[in-house]
Amino acid sequence: MHRRIEDYALIGDEQTAALVGRDGSVDWLCLPRFDSSACFARLLGDEDNGHWRIAPKGADGPCTRRAYRRDTLVLDTEWDTPEGSVRVTDLMPQRDRAPDLVRIVEGLSGRVTVRSTLRLRFDYGSIIPWVRRADGHRVAVAGPDSVWLRTDPDVRTWGENHTTRSEFTVAEGEKVAFVLTWHPSHEPRPRLIDPYEALRTSVRDWRAWASRCRYDGPYRDAVVRSLITLKALTYAPTGGIVAAATTSLPEEIGGVRNWDYRYSWLRDSTLTLGALLAAGYHEEAEAWRDWLLRAVAGDPADLQIMYGIAGERRLQETELPWLSGFARSTPVRIGNDAVNQLQLDVYGEVMDSLSLARRAGLPTKPHMWSIQVALMDWLREEWRQPDEGLWEVRGGRRQFVHSKVMVWVAADRAVRTLEQNPQLKGDLDGWRALRDEVHREVCEKGYDADRNTFTQSYGSRELDAALLLIPRVGFLPHDDTRVTGTIEAVRAELGHGGFLRRYTADDTTVDGLPGGEGTFLVCSFWLADALHATGRTKEARELFERLVGLANDVGLLSEEYDPVGERQLGNFPQAFSHIGLVNTALALFGDEGAG
């Protein structure tokens, strides 16, 4: 089957996640964490790199239909066959210690023969484990990894060509549950779970969580699905949120723009916090804020653009040559060298996030303001440096306009915090002077008066979709002619198929990479926000409707979209895209749907 990124659905337990294809195959799963090595890596290679398919015997293609159970992360996949109909329900229940993948097969009508084909391959598809029987389980072990497989009730299972196979028949109302459990190989067998009770508990808990959403306006299903996805991409022990569940899904089919997104970006912090707070999820917002404070603690000069999900700093980038890549798009990378870049915008993101958290009434931390003062002291001395910008270009540092605007944001939020909280100590006059200086320089050096638009960097002619955030962060009002001119220029020059590229990707001097990429979904949501804020709400809503229509059949969005090939591109599902959907829905319909 020719696979597309949108063929996949997500299940997870808020510590890791799996991707399940339309054909009933789990093709991606990293254990025990999002950023651990994969034991199923067919997504980035072939069947021999690990997968687990459960489907009717002889069903070589996709399922008949599939859907999440309402307001949950529990997936039902159904097949209609000449012999009858069958459903496979997939979930990853909230874990006690060990992660479990539960797959329940249920006969809906007739009598259907079902096959299970399990190929475990540890270390991203490179290691075949040793498999044995023990205590009614199939146990696969290789080095530090151990996976236990059992069925309830017991069905015939056998080994064949380094594959664990099962075949059984279900009639209407009959069920067979598979439970696959990972744990460190040096530890004793993990505690057994009841798969049917896990299903009932998961449905109940997800629906209880979704019911907390304050939004009840148009497109509520899309908003709730996006919030559930964001929750699923959260690493519960720390509150960190991964940018996506995957690595190396291509931004161009056959291209080299393949990156590891299983980490947490500061770039996303303010928009993430805003979406959670506005939708009514204050506990999750506070957990994200606390993760942010822990991650950025230390010397302000060492502030990184991204961190591991527990705050790790070393994310060394390497290539996996044994994987052929999704749709032959190589190299496959793990780790991300962009961690070593300088991006001045993250200082603004951190200051803006902490300012938002304070205004929203989240409980303050004793050290929060001292960290902010240290960040401002460093930024005041270093803000004039060129940097790599929020898009992590690899074509050399520049004086990116968005980076300077976010320096202004940092100074502005520091000033406002002191003005609103006079008991705090800080250099109010100095920060005001910094704010004014940065504003003046950006308007002089980052604005092209002949074209009536801000530019990507000082003195350049390139544009950048991040310029749409200038009014959103308060740098200039929405009705300023320089803002409206920038919106028009960005829309005209970066528009493609009705959506937006993030910048001119065919200019390799900017990002230093060959090839192109798709339209960037969060940038297209930003355009909808900008249109709405400048009084063009009808156009904004039309664009929002088209963007929601790009989601796959279970409501998920990747990072990018190819309007020519009509397919999703980039890592999946992408938190930033779903954050954009939530924020734009709240902006367009919030008065109609806020609870």
pLDDT at 438 over 70: yes
Segment (H or E) for 272: helix 269-279
Helices and strands: H and E segment counts in the chain: 15, 28
Within 8 A by CB and 6+ apart from 111, the residues are: 83, 84, 169, 170, 171
Q: What is the pTM of this model?
A: 0.96
Q: State residue 460's pLDDT score.
A: 93
**Domain CATH number, residue 101:** 2.70.98.40
199 and 220 belong to one structural domain: no
126 and 226 belong to one structural domain: no
pLDDT at 595 over 50: no
Q: Which of 144, 174, 204 is the last residue of a domain?
A: 204
197 and 308 belong to one structural domain: no
Q: Which of 9, 136, 26, 11 is nearest to 65 (CA)?
A: 9
Q: Residues 250-294: pLDDT tens digits?
A: 999 999 999 999 999 998 888 899 999 999 999 999 999 999 999
Tokens of 523: 């940038």
474 and 338 belong to one structural domain: yes
Tokens of 400: 């990116």
- 156 three-class SS: coil
| Strand ranges (E), 399-527 | 447-448, 453-454, 495-496, 499-500, 519-520
ω into 237 cis (within 30 of 0): no
Alpha helices in 446-520 (DSSP H): 469-472, 481-494, 508-511
Q: State residue 254's pLDDT score.
A: 94
Q: At what angle are helices 269-279 and 575-593 packed, to 10 degrees?
A: 40
Q: Residues 195-239: pLDDT tens digits?
A: 999 999 999 999 999 999 999 999 999 999 999 999 999 999 999
Q: Which of 164, 181, 204 is the last residue of a domain?
A: 204
Asked whether residue 544 is domain-assigned, the answer is: yes
CA distances from 566 to 5, 21, 244, 325 (A): 11, 19, 21, 20
Asked whether residue 40 is domain-assigned, the answer is: yes
Asked whether residue 287 is domain-assigned, the answer is: yes
Q: Which of 78, 56, 79 is nearest to 67 (CA)?
A: 78
What's the chain's Rg over C-alpha atoms?
25
182 and 287 belong to one structural domain: no
Segment (H or E) for 231: helix 220-232
531 and 447 belong to one structural domain: yes
Q: State residue 1's pLDDT score.
A: 52
CA distances from 188 to 33, 185, 195 (A): 20, 8, 20
Q: State residue 315's pLDDT score.
A: 94
- 419 three-class SS: helix
Q: Which of 112, 46, 50 is nearest to 81 (CA)?
A: 112
Q: Which of 204, 232, 250 is the last residue of a domain?
A: 204
Looking at the 3D structure of the chain, how many domains does it have?
Answer: 2
127 and 166 belong to one structural domain: yes
Task: Provide the 10 A C-beta neighbour count for residue 506.
Answer: 10
**Domain CATH number, residue 300:** 1.50.10.10
Asked whether residue 352 is domain-assigned, the answer is: yes
Longest Cα–Cα distance in the chain = 78
- Determine the average pLDDT of the residues in 139-160: 93
Dist CA 314 CA 333 (whole Å)? 15
Q: Is the dihedral of CA 262, 264, 267, 273 positive or negative?
A: positive
Is residue 572 within 8 Å of residue 258, measured between CB atoms? no
Asked whether residue 210 is domain-assigned, the answer is: no
Dist CA 524 CA 580 (whole Å)? 9
Within 8 A by CB and 6+ apart from 549, the residues are: none
- 301 three-class SS: helix
Q: Residues 153-205: pLDDT tens digits?
A: 999 999 999 999 999 999 999 999 999 999 999 998 888 999 999 999 999 99
Q: Which of 264, 411, 414, 278 is nearest to 339 (CA)?
A: 264
254 and 115 belong to one structural domain: no
Asked whether residue 525 is domain-assigned, the answer is: yes
Q: Residues 309-364: pLDDT tens digits?
A: 999 999 999 999 999 999 999 999 999 999 999 999 999 999 999 999 999 999 99
246 and 104 belong to one structural domain: no
Is residue 538 within 8 Å of residue 545, measured between CB atoms? no
What are the φ and ψ backbone dihedral angles of 457, each rounded to 5 degrees?
-145, 165
pLDDT at 593 over 50: no
Q: Residues 238-248: pLDDT tens digits?
A: 999 999 999 99
Question: Cα 391–394–398 angle (5° rounding)?
Answer: 75
Asked whether residue 594 is domain-assigned, the answer is: no
Q: State residue 573's pLDDT score.
A: 98
Residue 594 — pLDDT band, cuts 50, 70, 90? Answer: very low
Q: State residue 591's pLDDT score.
A: 66
> What does the mean pLDDT of the chain come to?
94
133 and 259 belong to one structural domain: no
pLDDT at 35 over 90: yes
137 and 221 belong to one structural domain: no
Tokens of 22: 């339309």
- 365 three-class SS: coil
- For residue 96, the enclosing domain spans 5-204
Give the count of alpha carbons within 13 A of 551, CB side only: 24
Asked whether residue 372 is domain-assigned, the answer is: yes
224 and 277 belong to one structural domain: yes
- Determine the average pLDDT of the residues in 135-140: 86
CA distances from 184 to 11, 98, 143, 188, 453 (A): 22, 9, 9, 9, 56
